[in-house]
C-alpha cells in the first residue's frame, strides 16, 4: 500500500493514513508553513495548515506522506524536524511529481 495506490483510486486517503499509523491534524499555522510531519513514539504526526485551500491541503498531505514513504523521518537521530532539510523537501516533491505523471 502506497501513495501510488491512493492516486490511482485503489485505496482511500483514510486507508493510507491508517497504514502509515498517521495522526492527521489541521491547525492554524504561519502562512509560510504548508504543513509538517514528524514521528513521536512510533506515531507519525502530520499537521496541515488550516488556512490553505482544499486543493493545497490535499497537495500538502501528499507531500508529507511522501516524507514517510521515503523513510525520511528516522534518518537523523533526535531530529524530529528532518523535513526542514532541503534535499528531503526536493526529494518529496520530485516523488509526488513522478507519481502524478
Question: CB 63 → Zn ion: shortest distance, Å?
Answer: 5
Stretch touching Zn ion by CB under 5 A, among 6-14, 24-32, 39-47, 87-95: 87-95
Nearer to Zn ion, 4 or 89 (CB): 89
CB atoms within 10 A of CB 83: 18
Write down the residue that cell numbers 497537495 correspond to: 59
CA distance 60 to 20: 16
Q: Quick check: 95 binds Zn ion (CB under 5 A)? A: no
Report residue 41: phi and psi, to 5°.
Answer: 55, 40
CB atoms within 10 A of CB 95: 19
Question: CB 101 → Zn ion: shortest distance, Å?
Answer: 19
Q: Find the binder of Zn ion among 16, 44, 73, 83 (CB under 5 A).
A: 83
Q: Footprint of Zn ion on this chain (CB under 5 A)?
A: 83, 89, 92
Amino acid at each position: 500500500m502506497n501513495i501510488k495506490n491512493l492516486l490511482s483510486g485503489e485505496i482511500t486517503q483514510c486507508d493510507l493514513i491508517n497504514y502509515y499509523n498517521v495522526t492527521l491534524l489541521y491547525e492554524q499555522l504561519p502562512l509560510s508553513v504548508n504543513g509538517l510531519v514528524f514521528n513521536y513514539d512510533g506515531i507519525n504526526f502530520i499537521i496541515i495548515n488550516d488556512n490553505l485551500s482544499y486543493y493545497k491541503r490535499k497537495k500538502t498531505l501528499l507531500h508529507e506522506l511522501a516524507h514517510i514513504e521515503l523513510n525520511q523521518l528516522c534518518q537523523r537521530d533526535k531530529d524530529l524536524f528532518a523535513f526542514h532539510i532541503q534535499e528531503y523537501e526536493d526529494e518529496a516533491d520530485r516523488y509526488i511529481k513522478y507519481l502524478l505523471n
